[in-house]
Chain A
Amino acid sequence: GAVVSQHPSRVICKSGTSVKIECRSLDFQATTMFWYRQFPKKSLMLMATSNEGSKATYEQGVEKDKFLINHASLTLSTLTVTSAHPEDSSFYICSARPGTSTEAFFGQGTRLTVV
């Protein structure tokens, strides 16, 4: 149980285009989903916390218009990187928390390369 699927696992896009990353909880309802960004050999930096049916809470320094987060259902959250630039290239990873759990479970991550 507690499987989180993230799609796509890898994506290459051109500068100026937008990319959508999906995070799905497959066997539980995720009250809360979290989006992280991880640079090579660095830690996971929390970008935003997403609660179903409400607006995401962004961490300081994260542009909400740049990184659009939608949590339309209890099993799906999406992160859209808008007008992508090469500096947006990174490993993006989500985690999802069941309503009754303290622990959150990670997706497999998405490696975004903007060329």
Chain B
Amino acid sequence: GENVEQHPSTLSVQEGDSAVIKCTYSDSASNYFPWYKQELGKRPQLIIDIRSNVGEKKDQRIAVTLNKTAKHFSLHITETQPEDSAVYFCAAKSVSGGFKTIFGAGTRLFVKA
């Protein structure tokens, strides 16, 4: 079945440094890749997404890259701040697959002040 792998599971960085989270997906039909930030006990919040016809997308301190051939996509957060500390999930979705979203296992990001 469809699978999304996410690494690392935990990431600790110093404030101001960059953080990179990587994901791979198995379903070739996946064509939409959202990233979510989830704080404890809260709903996931979409922070950025990328579609399969685009290789890179940036929104202020957050960027996402997609390598469709290798089925890899990554989240880059620059100039990290303590408030960036949360769990981040990557996900893959196939329009032809009924729009269901398969999530990665999550990365717990700690930004140390």
Binding site for B on A (CB under 8 A): 32, 34, 41-46, 49, 57, 60, 91, 93, 95, 97, 102-104, 106-109, 111
Q: Determine whether B63 belongs to the interface, using a CB cutoff of 8 Å to chain A.
A: no
Q: A44's contact among B49, B51, B89, B99, by CB below 8 Å, is which?
A: B89
CB contacts (< 8 Å) of A111 on chain B: these are 41
- Residue with the highest number of chain A CB atoms closer than 10 Å, among B46, B87, B100: B100
Inter-chain contact A103/B89, CB cutoff 8 Å: no
Binding site for A on B (CB under 8 A): 1, 32, 34, 41-46, 49, 51, 87, 89, 93, 95, 98-106, 108
CB contacts (< 8 Å) of B46 on chain A: these are 103
CB contacts (< 8 Å) of A93 on chain B: these are 43-44
Name the CB-closest residue of A to B102: A46
CB contacts (< 8 Å) of B93 on chain A: these are 102
The CA of A43 and the CA of B105, in the complex, are separated in Å by 5
Inter-chain contact A109/B101, CB cutoff 8 Å: no
Inter-chain contact B101/A46, CB cutoff 8 Å: yes
The CA of A102 and the CA of B92, in the complex, are separated in Å by 11
Known A43-B104, A43-B106, A46-B100; contact A103-B34, beta-carbon cutoff 8 A = yes
Inter-chain contact B43/A107, CB cutoff 8 Å: yes
Nearest CB of B to A82, in Å: 23
Inter-chain contact A102/B95, CB cutoff 8 Å: yes
Inter-chain contact A109/B98, CB cutoff 8 Å: no
The CA of A59 and the CA of B48, in the complex, are separated in Å by 26
The CA of A42 and the CA of B106, in the complex, are separated in Å by 7
Nearest CB of A to B72, in Å: 18
Inter-chain contact A106/B101, CB cutoff 8 Å: no
Inter-chain contact B42/A108, CB cutoff 8 Å: yes
CB contacts (< 8 Å) of A103 on chain B: these are 32, 34, 46, 49
Name the CB-closest residue of A to B87: A41
Question: Could you list 24 examples of A-B contacts with CB < 8 Å?
Answer: A32-B99, A34-B101, A42-B106, A43-B103, A44-B44, A44-B103, A45-B103, A46-B100, A46-B101, A46-B102, A49-B98, A49-B99, A93-B44, A95-B101, A97-B99, A102-B93, A102-B95, A103-B32, A103-B46, A104-B101, A107-B43, A108-B43, A109-B41, A109-B43
